[in-house]
Structure 1
Amino acid sequence: MSNWADLTTGKRLKHLRGSDLTQQGLAEAAGVSLALVQKAEQDRGELSVGSLLKLAHALRTDVAVILGQQAPRRGMSRDDRAALRHLSDAVHESALGEWDGISDPSTLDELSAARDLAWAAYWASDTAKVSSLASKVLMEGQVRYSSAAGAERERLALVLASTYRVAASCANGFGHRDLALSALTSAKLLAKEADSPVVSALLESTLSWIYLRGAQTCRAVTVAERAAHVIEPSFSKASRPEFLAYGRLMISAAVAASRREDERTADDYISQAQAAAARLGRDEKLHGTSFGPTAAKTEAVGIHVALKNYGRALKLASQPEMKQLPKTMSKVARNRYKLDVALAQCSAGLYDQAADTLIEVGLDAPQWVKHQALPGVIGRRLAKVSTTRVRHISELIGVPLIA
């Protein structure tokens, strides 16, 4: 594809629409006429601000992307767009109290089970399932929460907070920052009412990630540092949930510091995370978040890659326990780690190994990998050695790696 800014508005619209959405489908989703879409894609006439906003909303992108002022992320499938739209409706309507028509909401135990399934779907990169389950919990949970009291109300608040958090994580993964922040705002209010320091800490970890995705690295570090200071455990008295939340926050701070190329700070936070992992002694999961020895080591590999310490990253990745990752590790976490390894391999001149690792990731998580930036970076580096090999990989995994 040519430079995004060099394309006409019509060509950019056509590219954003993709092959799975017809012009008629876009017109209906945006609430405009088919003629308007056809003229826009043919570059006949100027689009009004109102039409641009409607088209951007329907395409789940920004007006700046349509106008060529910024490049788009990899295009979402029609199913992913529909799932995120459904999730967005649930996040906003549940927070606003628009839950009319739900006369018999699910029980607390049923909602808690659905919340857990939503997190499992998120870590399996199943956007449609996340949307379906999370939307159900948010809408029905808010109905029950509005009339609950005492211990039941506190438990419902935690279930809802965790569900808003999975919605925020899902939205952030697709670059929908506003939806992510909206969901997280509702989650933080509920966690505060339930007086849960651990859940509040995990929400701050997600907020740090949102800032990191938005290239606000200083803010990402500050958020994680501040939250870690609040929950910092006494290593002789702390509970296991506190160690898990603290360790995850240390990882968030280390990742953000590495993006600022602050190696000293990143190393300090990695050490703190590894100490918390050692105290846990095994990998654990709480409120959709996993942490333990495996997470501390795999995240450390990615941090060293970001710092361009490729030798350290590959040395860590070559340890026996890293060769056979636990089956309990989520698909997303596993493949994110493997992309870091592939980049380190590529940077160390291990091109065949990097290509094999990239193929492995693409075949294991074909939908998830389309929304990641690293495959393109790796592809461009591999293309300097063999464009034919890269084009073959692109066809194999269904991701355009080079123009």
Structure 2
Amino acid sequence: MSNWADLTTGKRIKHLRGSDLTQQGLAEAAGVSLALVQKAEQDRGELSVGSLLKLANALKTDVAVILGQQAPRQGMSRDTRVALRRISDAVHEGALGDWDGLGEPSTLAELSTALDRMWATYWRGEYGELSELIAKVLLEGSARYEQATGYERERLGAVLASTYQSAASTAVLLGQRDLAFGAITSARRLAEQSGDPVRAALVESTLSWIHLRSARVPRAVAVAERAAAQIEPSFSKAPRPQLLAYGRLMIAAAVAASRRGDTASADEYLSQAQAAAARLGSDEVLYGTYFGPTTASTEAVGIAVALGNHGRALKLAAHTELPRSMLKIPRNRYKLDVALAQCEAKLYDRAADTLIEVGLDAPQWVKHQALPGVIGKRLAKVSTARVRNISELIGVPLIA
């Protein structure tokens, strides 16, 4: 097979479909029309993000693979394969209690420090170091958890829940949904045992995101709705952690609703998230989850883009200020939304500059995102040479 990035999108879809699945079968599995599949494989027209998600789910792969930014697993970079294997081994061995030869595990204080480093690394998008920290906390934390009692066992359970949550988020980002669902199952169990409803709610927000990445949009909405209903605050007197969790869940529901074109629901959920953010008053990170006024503002831009309202997205972006303290990954995810809106408004030079900013700021993370490929195809209509230069500069294949 030719270099994966050198194939067209249509050829990648055809290759992933293989000889065992007909075009009609793929259309039925993805819930799209046969005509859409035929046009996609013939590279006629552009696929929407929603269609890409549905096709990726039916083909049991990731959107980034279809777009050529990420090769099928056997073609992944060695560093990515190593990171995934490390996370997979830790998730399964931790759950099975297989830690022979581990030695004396770290103390609760040491594991808590490692957990903080783990989340900081996650939000920087550095997956090699992140996988090492996840493996350390899951294996050593699980070993100590089995022998612990009382307060120590309770705190270790919370540390492990958060680590499984991070493992799930990382796995789905790297296209490994089965591993993500396995990790989030362990996170849910431990979060429920912790007796902390806020922690349990934030785990559900990650589950909603996994469903969204898997093109299970109705389920993503339902999970976020259900968890939000269980923790819905009284805005006049709710504690800050409860406001943060509720707001994060409302964002998850709004984003998922926007992906299925449900403007009314997306606006309603977003309004609730904005109310929680306003009451919170500042951006905060709790249990590895980021939320506050900045989140509400930047996600509103992404929701407008998903709904096809690119003019509104750019107007919102013009009034959105990004604080210096904003975490790297949310900042760059927002910039990708802005770049796509700029493309749709034919502001191609600005879109190209925005894409370059993202690629240089978060080089590991951007390789596993779908939007750079979508933006690259839009920009290629104006200048394929410019897109190839951008690809070389940021190290991400954008067009065949």
Query: Same fold, TM exceeding 0.5?
Result: yes
Q: Counterpart of 1:355?
A: 352
SS of the equivalent of 2:285 reads strand
Aligned partner of 2:330 among 316, 333, 340: 333
Which residue identity does 2:12 align to in structure 1? W
Contact 2:207 2:223 (C-alpha < 8 Å) held by counterparts = yes
How far did 1:5 drift?
Answer: 5.1
- Give the Cα–Cα distance (whole angstroms) in 2 for the partners of residues 197 and 376 of structure 1: 38
- Give the Cα–Cα distance (whole angstroms) in 2 for the partners of residues 63 and 170 of structure 1: 20
Moved more, 256-265 or 365-374: 365-374
- Give the Cα–Cα distance (whole angstroms) in 1 for the partners of residues 191 and 370 of structure 2: 32
- Give the Cα–Cα distance (whole angstroms) in 1 for the partners of residues 187 and 111 of structure 2: 16
Contact 2:282 2:293 (C-alpha < 8 Å) held by counterparts = yes
Which residue identity does 1:240 align to in structure 2? R
Q: Counterpart of 1:254?
A: 254
Q: Counterpart of 1:388?
A: 385
Contact 1:64 1:70 (C-alpha < 8 Å) held by counterparts = no
How far did 1:203 drift?
Answer: 0.6
- Give the Cα–Cα distance (whole angstroms) in 2 for the partners of residues 127 and 398 of structure 1: 16
SS of the equivalent of 1:327 reads coil
- Give the Cα–Cα distance (whole angstroms) in 1 for the partners of residues 148 and 96 of structure 2: 18
Which residue identity does 2:138 align to in structure 1? L
2:149 counterpart of 1:149: yes
How far did 1:360 drift?
Answer: 0.9
Contact 1:5 1:71 (C-alpha < 8 Å) held by counterparts = no
How far did 1:334 drift?
Answer: 0.8
Q: Counterpart of 1:4?
A: 12
2:394 counterpart of 1:397: yes
Which residue identity does 2:387 align to in structure 1? V
Which residue identity does 2:273 align to in structure 1? A
How far did 1:326 drift?
Answer: 1.7
Contact 2:68 2:398 (C-alpha < 8 Å) held by counterparts = no
- Give the Cα–Cα distance (whole angstroms) in 2 for the partners of residues 63 and 348 of structure 1: 32
Q: Counterpart of 1:267?
A: 267
- 1:201 to 1:9, Cα distance in 2 relative to 1, 3 A: closer
2:200 counterpart of 1:207: no
- 1:152 to 1:269, Cα distance in 2 relative to 1, 3 A: same
How far did 1:9 drift?
Answer: 11
SS of the equivalent of 1:290 reads strand
Following superposition of structure 1 onto structure 2, how do residues 215-230 of structure 1 map, counting pairs within 5 Å? 215-230=215-230
- Give the Cα–Cα distance (whole angstroms) in 2 for the partners of residues 314 and 339 of structure 1: 12
SS of the equivalent of 1:102 reads coil
Aligned sequence identity (%): 66
Which residue identity does 1:391 align to in structure 2? R
Q: Per-residue CA shift, 1:96-119, capped at 9, x if unaligned?
A: 110122342111111011011111
- 1:191 to 1:8, Cα distance in 2 relative to 1, 3 A: closer
TM-score by length of 1: 0.82
2:371 counterpart of 1:374: yes
- 1:71 to 1:318, Cα distance in 2 relative to 1, 3 A: closer
Q: Per-residue CA shift, 1:49-90, capped at 9, x if unaligned?
A: xxxxxxxxxxxxx9977xxx9787613321111011011100
How far did 1:8 drift?
Answer: 10
TM-score by length of 2: 0.83
List runs of 5+ in structure 1 lacking aligned partners: 11-61
Following superposition of structure 1 onto structure 2, how do residues 16-27 of structure 1 map, counting pairs within 5 Å? none
Which residue identity does 2:354 align to in structure 1? T
SS of the equivalent of 1:261 reads coil
How far did 1:236 drift?
Answer: 2.1
Structure 1 vs Structure 2 CA RMSD: 2.1
Contact 2:69 2:398 (C-alpha < 8 Å) held by counterparts = no
Q: Per-residue CA shift, 1:126-146, capped at 9, x if unaligned?
A: 111111111111111111111
SS of the equivalent of 2:397 reads coil
Q: Counterpart of 1:132?
A: 132
- 1:330 to 1:70, Cα distance in 2 relative to 1, 3 A: closer
- Give the Cα–Cα distance (whole angstroms) in 2 for the partners of residues 384 and 71 of structure 1: 16
- 1:6 to 1:137, Cα distance in 2 relative to 1, 3 A: closer
- 1:204 to 1:7, Cα distance in 2 relative to 1, 3 A: closer
Q: Counterpart of 2:233?
A: 233
Contact 2:69 2:373 (C-alpha < 8 Å) held by counterparts = no
- 1:64 to 1:374, Cα distance in 2 relative to 1, 3 A: closer
2:361 counterpart of 1:364: yes
List runs of 5+ in structure 2 lacking aligned partners: 1-6, 19-57
- Give the Cα–Cα distance (whole angstroms) in 2 for the partners of residues 312 and 8 of structure 1: 37
Contact 2:67 2:373 (C-alpha < 8 Å) held by counterparts = no
How far did 1:352 drift?
Answer: 1.0
Following superposition of structure 1 onto structure 2, how do residues 97-116 of structure 1 map, counting pairs within 5 Å? 97-116=97-116
How far did 1:6 drift?
Answer: 5.3
- 1:344 to 1:71, Cα distance in 2 relative to 1, 3 A: closer
May I ask how many residue pairs the two structures share in their alignment? 347
Contact 1:224 1:253 (C-alpha < 8 Å) held by counterparts = yes
- 1:5 to 1:183, Cα distance in 2 relative to 1, 3 A: closer
Q: Counterpart of 1:183?
A: 183
Which residue identity does 2:316 align to in structure 1? L
Q: Counterpart of 2:163?
A: 163
- 1:8 to 1:266, Cα distance in 2 relative to 1, 3 A: closer
- Give the Cα–Cα distance (whole angstroms) in 1 for the partners of residues 218 and 255 of structure 2: 11
Q: Which runs of 4+ in 1 moved over 3 A?
A: 5-10, 62-65, 69-73
SS of the equivalent of 1:285 reads strand
Which residue identity does 1:238 align to in structure 2? A
